[in-house]
Structure 1
Amino acid sequence: MAITLTPVALERVQRFVEQTPGTLGLRFGVTRTGCSGWGHVADLAREQRDGDTVFEYQGVRIYVDADSLALVDGTEIDFARQGLGETFLFKNPNATAECGCGESFTTAVDAA
């Protein structure tokens, strides 16, 4: 099991963590959303919660809740500029389909 970050995403997360007092690392998971079912969620982790699995990637701790773990295992997190904004991008090997706008995804388990 693992979550990885591209070099640019790693740098961005390190900067967020360093600039935000009380931050432990990155919180990563999914939430029910959109037309396909699941949406990725990335935020700063300020506490370790019961059931969290904690990955460490090149000095950055990544906290994943138990309900999200099977859906995000193996995901590579990237960071990119898109138009005038910036966003995290997710290469999730568990996603078997995405909605047209790319905001949500479906897994093989959802399709069954």
Structure 2
Amino acid sequence: MGITISETAAREISTIIDQQELDRQKVRLRVGVKGGGCSGFSYLLDLTETARDADEEFDQHGIKVVCDPKSYLYLNGVSIDFKDEVMGRGFVFNNPNATSSCGCGSSFSA
């Protein structure tokens, strides 16, 4: 299954890479989880040039995605989209592994 990024999310990530003048050949989107948030875990998105040997790696719409093995246990099958709506703007996670998530959508429990 892996981690899926929508075309809309990939365009937004591309825009951020360009705005920050990062090297497209080296930069990767690190997707992960960390303890905390209202539901137990919070999602983590970061642009990095570092990929570790143990990382899972994916290529989605020209974006290189990396995820550490521990986070991947919670994120295998997740899809990431980007919404730009009247009520807010940001990345949206659809995680089939989450047993519940908070109202803001930035944390979950599994």
Question: Is TM-score (shorter-chain normalized) higher than 0.5?
Answer: yes
TM-score (ref. length: structure 2) = 0.83
The one-letter code sitting in structure 1 at the alignment partner of 2:80 is: I
Cα pair distance change 1:48/1:97, threshold 3 Å:
same
Matched, 1:49 2:75: no
Gaps of 5+ in 2: none
Aligned mates of 1:16, 1:101 — CA distance in 2: 22
Q: Which runs of 4+ in 1 moved over 6 A?
A: none
Task: Provide the identity percentage.
Answer: 37
> Any idea what the Cα deviations from partners look like across 1:81-106, whole Å, max 9, x if unmatched?
25575211101111111134433211
1:110 is matched with none
Aligned mates of 1:85, 1:46 — CA distance in 2: 29
Q: Name the stretch that deviates more: 92-101 or 17-26.
A: 17-26
> Any idea what the Cα deviations from partners look like across 1:13-48, whole Å, max 9, x if unmatched?
122234432452211010111232111111112211
> Any idea what the Cα deviations from partners look like across 1:33-88, whole Å, max 9, x if unmatched?
12321111111122112421111112211010111001011111111125575211
Cα pair distance change 1:63/1:83, threshold 3 Å:
same
1:87 is matched with 90
* 8 Å CA contact retained: 2:92, 2:105: no
Structure 1 vs Structure 2 CA RMSD: 1.9
Matched, 1:27 2:63: no
Aligned mates of 1:98, 1:85 — CA distance in 2: 18
Aligned mates of 1:65, 1:78 — CA distance in 2: 20
2:10 is matched with 10
